Structure 1
Amino acid sequence: MADITRIEYTKKDLLTLMLKDQGIHEGHWVLGVKFIFTAMNIGQSPDGSDASPASVAAVDTIHLERVPEPLPFSVDAGEINPMK
């Protein structure tokens, strides 16, 4: 077997895994991401003479969020994680 160097998940894959992990079997859910934003000066010259203001966004957390009605990008926990 070849060495695995990359594994990707779609948003629906992540929602399914997270709903199953939390034992959620009902409701419509979406995937949410909490970002952290900050500003800094960046440049390529060693002395910083070409520094420019820039913004940086970092992913802080990924979460499940229940929505009151189906949305184009939500999943139904009852369908993807039915009660057994």
Structure 2
Amino acid sequence: MSHSADMDNNALSMKEVVTLIIKARKIHEGHYVPAIEFNFGAGMDGPSEEEVVPTMRIGIRSFNISKIEEPTPFSVDASAVNPKRSKKNKPE
């Protein structure tokens, strides 16, 4: 199996990444969507000096989540993926 095929099989969806962040931050309520911060840059680039063209570069600065008021088809419900567990009553 090639390395790229292996990466495709292990890729996480945006909802899975949001779910991981919700669990890592111990969030138990609310609806969340991905919030990605990008960097943009311009320059000159090409495969050779003769083929240089104006170029736009896009980088991902950070990946976060944002809480939203109403659920959407793209949001993750924290109460569904990370329900708050009730503490068991201690015996007296």
**TM-score normalised by length of structure 2:** 0.78
1:29 maps to 32
1:25 deviates by 0.3
Identical residues among aligned pairs (%)? 33
Match of 2:20 among 10, 17, 28: 17
* Secondary structure at 1:34 match in 2: strand
Scaled by the length of structure 1, the TM-score of the pair is 0.85
Between the two proteins, the alignment pairs up a number of residues equal to: 78
Q: Matches of 1:75 and 1:51 in 2, distance apart?
A: 43
Runs of 4+ in 1 over 3 A off after TM superposition: none
Structure index of larger Rg = 2
Task: Give the aligned CA root-mean-square deviation in angstroms.
Answer: 1.2
Which structure has the highest helix share of the two?
Answer: 2
Aligned 1:2-81 pairs, distance under 5 A = 6=7, 7-45=10-48, 48-81=49-82
Q: Deviations over 1:8-60 (max 9, x none)?
A: 21112111111011010000000111110000101222xx2321101010111
Alpha-carbon distance in structure 1 between the residues aligned to 2:14 and 2:47: 36
Q: Indicate the residue corresponding to 2:89 in structure 1.
A: none
Q: Which runs of 5+ in 1 are unaligned?
A: none
Give the match's secondary structure for 1:49: helix
